Structure 1
Amino acid sequence: MIEYLPIILFATIFVLILFGFPVAFTLGGLSVLVGIVVFDVDFFYLLALRVYGTMQNFVLLAVPLFVFMGIMLEKSGIAERLLETMALLFGRFRGGLAISVVIVGAMLAASTGIVGATVVTMGLISLPTMLKRGYGPRLSTGVIASSGTLGQIIPPSVVLVLLGSVLNVPVGDLFLAAVIPGVGLVVCYVLYIVIYAQVFPGRAPAMPKAEVSAFRERGFSGELVKSFVFPFLLILAVLGSIFAGIASPTEAAGVGAFGAILLTLSQRKLTMPVLKEVMRETTLLTSMVFMILVGATAFSLVFRGLEGDKLFLGLIERADMSPYAFLFLVMVLVFVAGFFIDFIEIVFIIVPVVAPLFVAMGIDLIWIGILLAVNLQTSFLTPPFGFALFYLKGVAPPEVKTSHLYQGIIPFVLIQIAFLILLVIFPEMTSMLL
């Protein structure tokens, strides 16, 4: 019985979280109780050392800085200008408005990385416009929700920072490895929209030529430069400094946070109430992440103390499971878990358990990190707890039903699954820039 205690602990925590118990306190509380029973009071000394080691992790400082950058950019109004400009740039094509949403979603992902902020912003600005232009509610909601989740895979991404910490791999390498998969996913979305617009032209019409011409006559080139230059400079400052080896991800996150303040100031949106709101939201999000991290540290310590990793490895060896079969099992587990729990919870509960097993099998953890990031992206879209769907439903017009959202995201979830399989077949896609 005692040898199967790690599995019982893992299953109990998972079930309690499904029943709605707070993740951080379920993870930490149950793990501490088991630790005291099994290891006596000495367990607390070990736990204190592990938590202190986590607090000293310099890389994790990037989390609040990237969160601050994303929320500040949401307040700057740059997203609105980008969407308006891109809509008229691609408006003369069938499906052009949807294509513009995908491209702006990718740019916001590369400059914010905050899924909730991106989905809400694009939902408020784009969804009414798309419906007014004759776009179907399913395509409109599917495009906005899926484009908003690109912040999960396109760097700088908070999930990549957390995965780098859990997998113990350089975050800068994860960022580099994610560039081609991120761009590839954007291309897949655009191709789907182009094909959809050809098959169902009435559901993805072009904008009236007169409206596009009128906009171009108002100084289109100048507006294009204003809309793109500032976000591009911020992306260049953050990612360029990391990829060039000038700054660590944490230092680059600091540059990004400062750059976001300057951009908001340039748009004349930086006021004391805005600054207070940004700091409050950043504190709330960061506190949630780090409370879960402390709980996950306790769980990881107890799980490994009970030799849970050796137990799982033994079970896999006895099952004569190949590395690819184990990878398939983990990816299915993460995908199904994404229906019920948040990506942060998956990163801190499932990933620490399977990471040592991937190491024992000699599998590249950078590649695993990217596969997990793409897989976790679907957790924002899959019902019943797809957070992108909640965000979008909260700002959608009354005529947009929940059924429209669920039906709209199906093609994009299938695209993500197909793209995940492509990354498994062609792992070099993640190593081209390394």
Structure 2
Amino acid sequence: MNSLRTRLLVAAALILIAFGSLTGLILDRSFQNGMLQAQEDKMQTLVYSLLGAASSDAFGDLTIALDAVPDPRLRQPLSGLEAALFNDDAVVVWSSADFLRLTPPAMPEVGEWRFERLVDPNAFALSFGLRWIDSADDPRRYTVVVLEDANAWDRQLVAFRRTLWLWLGTTLIALTLALLLLLRWGLKPLRLLGRELQQIESGQQPQIQGSYPEEIQPLARDLNTMIAAERSQQTRYRNALGDLAHTLKTPLAVLRGMTAESGLEAGFRRQLSEQLDRMQHIVDHQLRRAAAAGTRTLTEPVLLHGLCEKLLGAMAKVYADRSLRVENAVPGDLRLRADQGDLYDLLGNLIDNAAKYGNGQVRVSALSGSRQCLIVVEDNGAGFPPQAEQLLQRGARADQRQPGQGLGLAAVAEIVQAYSGRLLLDRSALGGAKVIVALPLR
């Protein structure tokens, strides 16, 4: 449900289904009520025709001549239409050719109609109460009952429902497909904008270049402004850092040259050298910290395998006297969206430490998950001391026998922190140190 098209389509489909179901139920109920009213009207007409053919017999009772009834089905057995005449005692005094012997119906009042659906048998029943006054002025109470088989009525209703839901279902499917095409056409500018952003991230184009509807134009314009501002800011930072490094380089070199003068006392020379080294370390630290690009929105992904291959090849030449054995286990298609200079510094420090403090074997591997990328650098040296976290502080060193200032892991920690990642120090299966860098994926 993170897709706008899916959300809109699901919401519209639910509305269409609810509307179609409600419409179908209303039409079905209306049609059923109309059929019931038509059935009742038809049976009332038949009752009137029966009363029109009624007359008194020799005993004064009401009777109906079947020959005078307009509907011939009353004279045919098993026709599905039956009629009977009950007296005031609920006794049949007249019936059609095939009237069923039913339980005497409830006698409606004179002049009242009673229409109902019977379950057994499956038929409609219409009763009418009347009072017949013969020539002797002797009023008698009668009830006319007409039964008609409901199977044909049920078949007609089933056929209507089948046609109704078939056409409603077809209409809903057609409307859903039309809505899908409409959403696809309406959301096309957003898809094009997302595709352009992917091309910007991959370095295929410098900014958003497409023409978009007026609702999206401000967004595209603001994105272009943000991209230009980010690149300009990054350029200014790098230029300022370069100028700062160049500006401080000459004064530090002059001061360091002064320490070589023979007239200085040994103690003063040593103190001056220590302070110069400290100044140099501070400058390097601040330059490296400011130069760390950190997580940026639109950067081209870096292919890690090639980067590690270059660094491992360079370290193999630097430490050629140790017959360094390097292993690049990084997948060839693994890409990480980060600044290439930051990755050079991060991997370069880790590989340099592994080559310097290991016993000739360095292995680099990586694994990409759904949320983060793990970069692992291992060696076969002595490993980390028990309080390995102290090595993340600037100037802390695990091996005092090797030359160095203890800035490698601290610089790596600063870069990882700039990317909101994690740095773990562990024991390697090779027997030495194992550094795990977890960088979030975007």
Question: Is the TM-score greater than 0.5?
Answer: no
Q: TM-score, normalised by structure 1?
A: 0.22
Q: Which has the higher contact order (CA 8 A, sep 6+)?
A: 1
Structure with bigger helix share is 1
Greater Rg over alpha carbons, structure: 2
